[in-house]
Amino acid sequence: MKEVELTVTTTESREPALRHLLPLAAIVLTALMWASTFVLMRWAAPDISPGPLALIRLTAGSATLTVLLLWARRGRIRLPSGRALWLTVAFGVSWFAVYTLAFNWAGHFLDAGTVAMVVNIAPLLVGVGAVVLFKETFSRGLFLGMLVSLGGIGLITAAGSVGQLALTGLAVAFAAALLYAAGMLLQKLVLRDVDPLTATWLGCIAGAAALMPFAPQTVAEWEGLSTATLAAAVYMGIGPSALGFWFWGYAMNHFPTGRVASATLAVPAVVVGLSAVTLGEIPPPLAVAGGAICLAGVAISQLSRGRRRAVPPVRV
């Protein structure tokens, strides 16, 4: 009788551990995949133009998401209609298409670590946008986070003004951060009527469609692409764009939103490490200091928002 009780207790103790281990693994894998995108984008820059890279990536992502959606919905796909459909298309064009294009373009001017540090001010911009558009409370934490991040942005800009970084690249990277934030705010509106997996799938398809003007250029560059570059572009679509969003939604369904969102703050550090090892690139010291300050500001604003209100789980 005692042996049976011991077995039951052991089994029950393993189940909660497994329930936490899988979402944690999803966060780690997503952060690693997103970090790898910055490095691969920079690595592929000499071999492929921003438009073709974005088109190949989103085509691969759309195909992968179609398979995932058909599997998750058992072959049945329900499209949104009316306002929800147009908002989803706008979300896809702004985030998947235009942001990815700017992101790739930034890699032609800046090292991967600097691009990652600049782009990851987006959560702070989302907080400001939520105050303006959705009438959320402008908290002291958000205000303090803005002040801290502005100081960091000043240092990164100074690195460009003294010739350590290309000012054009910084402008493109900041534009990418703005587009990232705009996409997240549009996604917030979309998710009121559309489930996350469907929204991501339709958004990715809309983004790929918006990049079709780059199809002739993609065809022209195709023959000159190395197998490694093509594999990298396809991986970015399958991994970070498709599986990354799916894993992210799974983690959001098991952990508080603030805890999951804070994991993205580790991405720039991972990018700098990967870039140093694989590409031999390290951001200039002034940019590293500025990026660290920016991320500290983002952390302050995110932690403040996380404590202030609970966000319902995302279901994929």
User: Which residues form the domain of 130?
Assistant: 42-308
Write down the pLDDT at residue 5: 47
Judge whether 133 lies within some domain.
yes
3-state secondary structure of 281: coil
Write down the pLDDT at residue 123: 76
Give, in order, the Cα–Cα distances in Å from 170 to each of 32, 102, 165.
24, 11, 8
Judge whether 9 lies within some domain.
no
For 248-287, write each residue's pLDDT tens digit: 767 766 766 556 666 677 788 889 888 989 999 889 888 8
CA distance 316 to 307: 24
Which secondary-structure segment (H or E) carries 213? none
Judge whether 178 lies within some domain.
yes
Write down the pLDDT at residue 87: 92
Judge whether 24 lies within some domain.
no
pTM for this model (two decimals): 0.83
Judge whether 85 lies within some domain.
yes
Write down the pLDDT at residue 314: 35
Give, in order, the Cα–Cα distances in Å from 100 to each of 72, 92, 115, 179.
26, 11, 12, 9
| pLDDT level of residue 1 (50, 70, 90 thresholds) | very low
The number of folded domains in the chain is: 1
* Residue 316 predicted with pLDDT over 50: no
* Residue 72 predicted with pLDDT over 50: yes
Judge whether 235 lies within some domain.
yes
Write down the pLDDT at residue 19: 65
**Tokens encoding 22:** 């899988």
For 88-138, write each residue's pLDDT tens digit: 999 999 989 999 999 999 999 999 999 998 988 887 787 788 777 777 676
Q: 82 and 145 in contact (C-beta within 8 Å)?
A: no
Q: Which of 151-155, 222-226, 230-234 has the highest mean pLDDT?
A: 230-234
**Tokens encoding 136:** 């959320």
For 151-173, write each residue's pLDDT tens digit: 888 888 888 777 778 889 899 99
For 196-207, write each residue's pLDDT tens digit: 888 889 999 999
Judge whether 212 lies within some domain.
yes
Name the residue among 185, 189, 172, 175 with its Cα closest to residue 128.
Answer: 185
Report the half-sphere exposure of 95 (CA within 13 A, side-chain side). 26
Q: What is the mean pLDDT of the chain?
A: 82
Judge whether 35 lies within some domain.
no
